[in-house]
Structure 1
Amino acid sequence: MARVSCDFRYFLIPAAFLFIYIQMRLFATQSEYADRMAEAVDAERHCTSQTRLLIDQISMQQEQIVALEEGKKRKDQECAQLKALVNDLEKKTLQRIIDKTQVPVAAVVIMACNRADYLERTIASVLKYQRSVASKYPLFISQDGSDPNVKAKALSYFNQISYMQHIDYDPVHTERPGELIAYYKIARHYKWALDELFYKHNFDRVIILEDDMEIAPDFFDYFEAAAALLDKDKSIMAVSSWNDNGQKQFVYDPYALYRSDFFPGLGWMLTKSTWNELSPKLKDNRKGRQFIRPEVCRTYNFGEHGSSMGQFFQSYLEPIKMNDIKVDWKSQDLSYLLEDKYAKYFADLLRMAKPVHGPDLALMTSNIDGDVRIQYTDQSDFENIARQFRVFEEWKDGVPRTAYKGVVVFRYHPPKRVFLVSPDSLRQLGIENA
């Protein structure tokens, strides 16, 4: 029995070694499995990270593709717009070449500064009648200063109007104390703009408008007819579309034109030859020359607010009658306005007018049929008579507004004409014993 027990113990030792070996192998296998599992988890995490990165890259690329497509669309649109603009410019260039066969009657310049709303109203009025005669009357806007609203408004008409800008930083020195600096600045702007149009652009004539004016339906036809007068008669300094006594109650005949020693302004045409004399010093250099003006205005001034601070607006400007009919100026014989004929023509009108004297001249005139003439003795007397009729009293440089050889003519209870006559007017006109 003891021998058998001894033998059984011998078996336990190898069994113990075998068990230990198996445990060691099992532990090694488990460790290897755990390492592989860890590697697998790391690999899975890396794969997931790479997948997410790839997805993000794809997403970013898709966004870039969308952005590129949108950019391409914008570029295509811009290209289309540029092509249209180039085509338009080519057409306009061709039109300009064609238009060179049509010699312009005059350039038209709208003088502007800082009133964009006024400018827009003026442009609308001018374009209404200029579009059909654009080749005869190239249109410009000349801006004094850098008001951004005025510049933007002017440039918005780039395909219809040429834009010029005058920048002047030089100080202003007035000739007399108390004078408005604004008028000196305006004069500088006028000189610069006219120099540009006459010398740079080489126009023969220029029509000057301000940025607070509307024009009549026959405005351009009127100036075309007047241009022929300027060419024939060098005693005419300029042609105006304005009558200072053009208020509704003082006008009647839209065909009537007059010569005047007083510069009317407010829509006027000047020739290059005359500007050659005026430009160097910008002083009055009339040399006895006169102006042509209409009885019924071809412009209307709506500018209550501006450099003149509304002077005379309600009394004299607001009631102005602007012509509203289309006069056929081409069929009119205007030769009576030439210097060698006009004095006799005007003298005949004055000679037939009935002389009126007395204290209440307006009332007496009302009770007379036909034209009348009233003589004044001096400026003070003229102003007193003008107040009775409520026409312009103002004189400048010794000349009453609208006067021709001292005579101011206006309608009163139309079609009656009133002639206010200076002490020397009849002699100047060769009217004796009248």
Structure 2
Amino acid sequence: MEYIKFLPILEMCMEETISQKSKLCEAARITSSDIINRAEILHAVINRVKENLLAKTENVLEIEIKKMENREKELRTWISWLSAQTDISQQNLPCFKRGNNKEHNMHNGKKELLASLQRLCEIQHTSLYFKSGESITDTNIGSLFGTVQNFSITPPSPIRKVRRDTFPTIKVHCSSRFKCKGSSGNIHAIAPISVNEAWICCGWGSKEIQLYHTNGELLVSVTLDIPVDHIVSTKNGNVLISSYNGNSIWRLDEQLNVTLFANLSFIPRGMAVHPRTNELYVCGVERDGSRDDLLSLNRRHLIARFSADGTFISDITISPHDPHRLGLMNEDKVCFSDYGKNNKRQLVVMDKMGTVLCVYEGRHELENPFYPLGTQVDQYENIIVADWNNDCVHLLDKNGEFSQFLVDQESDIERPCSLGLDTDGHLWVGNATGHVHVFSYCTWL
């Protein structure tokens, strides 16, 4: 092999490394600024809470002191009056109401006197103290202040992309397994960003995507304003998110900022990123949103292509095929899991003009009808497709012919629905119960 041909790749990697160093320094500057701003916000909040508590303390003190001063004044008046009396008679009783019946008036006057004295002798004790909040620990302070988080994205080596002289050895075994936190819903999207990390969306209708390590540790969580359908990662570190609730695709950058990537004329579903050009392919359906249209067989199904910056390039109509998840085989071919007519499920391979090249309908020995969902294509154009109904994952060659079952019921997979391939040839499989299995898929070199 002439290794000199790798010189342009190494030079490109040098430029990328210098660029990444600059980006990391800028990210650190922004992070430090965010930390300082957060501290100022918390200090401002703490000061407001302090001032409110001090004001409340002062208000309670003012009210209670006034009550006590009034009581003190009343007590002085009674003490002075009683000290001057040698005999309490009808004529000089306070609060005495004169009337015709002197005995009755004297009796009532004495009762009023005793009631007033009893009231004065009932002293109310008012307490005032500060009740502190929860114990202050690094954990609960961290939840209020925030944390510094980082993660790495390792795109496939460009050298691997030019090596076609060695066909991979496909040998599958499970290297890890974990359950997504707080959910038992189906995992309908997985987007690996490195050898050990992948963004995952668990639970249909969820607006949250989470970054997991293969050991099951939840690293980062991001909540969006739209329910997530599919997610894919790009070689520049972004994550693209499609939603069935709206005609748009959103972008999550390395600093976890969410921005609009592209407005669409259709409802997006599955996506795939071209490994060389970083162009985005999106499958979906055009409809006007009416109830009649939702049931119509005349809706336009399509696959659209966008540049790396979200600019629309072109699309092809693929009706009556109804695509769910998408895989790129090369510049000329795509494959997709198809919800065809009469609810027939199949895997379709199609060229860039919309011509069907082959259709895979599953294996006759399977007990249940073929139900393809998650779809991936490796660098040798092998097609990997998850079969929900039969608890297995199929491997097809580049012509759409069956090669083997990569994963079956013996792997303890229950209703697999999403797939992802990471940079080191590991296959991530998500199922209907919130579990993720990571398999060693193949050895590239």
Q: What is the TM-score normalised by the length of structure 1?
A: 0.27
Computing the radius of gyration over CA atoms, which structure comes out larger, 1 or 2?
Answer: 1
Q: What is the TM-score normalised by the length of structure 2?
A: 0.27
Task: Write 1 or 2 for the structure with the bigger share of strand.
Answer: 2
